[in-house]
Amino acid sequence: MSQPHISIWGYTKRKRLPALVIALPLGLLVGTVVGIISAYLRSDTDHVWLYAAIFSAMTGFLFTGLIWVLIVDRTTIAGAIAKPEASVENTWHARAVSAGFFTMLIGSGWGSAIAAFYHQNAISICFVIFFILGVCAYVISYVINRKRTLQ
């Protein structure tokens, strides 16, 4: 019986190639294609290739990560937990998400009502503020739940 393939970045489902060997060039290629398409759709700029290069550089690694997540076999990643949904961190995460979600609902409701009352057209600023509030509530809730569990 052969030794199982395990590495820090993991292998593909068939365990023949490291997942990053496939994900990196494919992700950069997809990012480049998306960058070129978005540059040509934005025809009001004089620097189409500069726009395409910057957009490709910013999205290429995001696509690499997405492709890696889709093709990697979790059992081949060194140090990966067998059942992450049963971990204590998942419990902290679930509680934090719940608190953040309800805070965001209440905050966005009040914010929308106040903005409508004062006839404000900058509703997008309200959504950004409430998004930041939700993220902060998540982080605070996660830390509190973690401390409570570890005591």
Specify the pLDDT at position 1.
43
Specify the pLDDT at position 78.
86
Which sequence spans correspond to the domains of the chain?
19-76, 84-150
Q: What is the pTM of this model?
A: 0.60
Query: What's the CA gap between 38 and 16, in Å, rounded?
Result: 35
Spell out the per-residue pLDDT of the chain, length 151, in tens: 455 678 888 888 887 789 999 999 999 999 999 999 988 888 677 788 888 899 999 999 999 999 999 999 888 888 888 787 788 888 999 999 888 888 887 887 777 777 777 777 677 677 768 778 888 888 898 899 889 888 8
What is the sign, positive or negative, of the torsion defined by CA atoms of 81, 84, 86, 90?
positive
Tokens of 59: 């999205």
Query: What's the CA gap between 126 and 3, in Å, rounded?
Result: 55
